[in-house]
Amino acid sequence: MKHLICRVDSVTVLDGYTLRVGFDDGTRQNINLEPVLAGEIYGPLRDRGLFEQVRIDPEVHTIVWPNGADFDPATLHDWPQHEEAMKALARRWALAEAV
């Protein structure tokens, strides 16, 4: 399987937990992360103050937060293809936290 190499070159916080993410190939994705904000790493991003601290890491060229949360830039680039799998993971993370 071929893995897409891409870099995030812009990020803007929109309404709710939606980000507009731009890539070095000129494409953009509006990504609603709310359904995947669960678990030890992504759950804390439900705090709007933390969520809005998103930035681009200059070394790995993806979005990151101060708590260490990040996303693979290829996953972000092709979000519509990965969204359901990410939601399923988030449901498992939420269940694990409830135990």
pLDDT digits (tens, 9 = 90+) for 73-99: 999 999 999 999 999 999 998 888 776
Does a structural domain hold residue 1?
no
Does a structural domain hold residue 49?
yes
Does a structural domain hold residue 3?
no
Confidence band of 5 (pLDDT split at 50, 70, 90): confident
- ∠ CA 6-71-65, rounded to 5°: 120
CATH code, domain carrying 21: 3.30.2020.10
Which are the contacts of 9, defined by CB distance < 8 A and separation ≥ 6? 22, 23, 24, 56, 61
- The domain total for the chain is 1
Distance CA 18, CA 9 (A): 17
Does a structural domain hold residue 2?
no
Distance CA 99, CA 78 (A): 32
Helix (H, G, I), strand (E, B) or coil at 79: helix
pLDDT value, residue 1: 47
Does a structural domain hold residue 82?
yes
Cβ 51 vs Cβ 41: under 8 Å: no
Q: Using the 8-state DSSP alphabet, how is residue 88 labeled?
A: H
Name the average pLDDT for the chain.
93
The string of pLDDT tens digits covering residues 19-54 is: 999 999 999 999 999 999 999 999 999 999 999 999
Does a structural domain hold residue 39?
yes
The string of pLDDT tens digits covering residues 59-76 is: 999 999 999 999 999 999
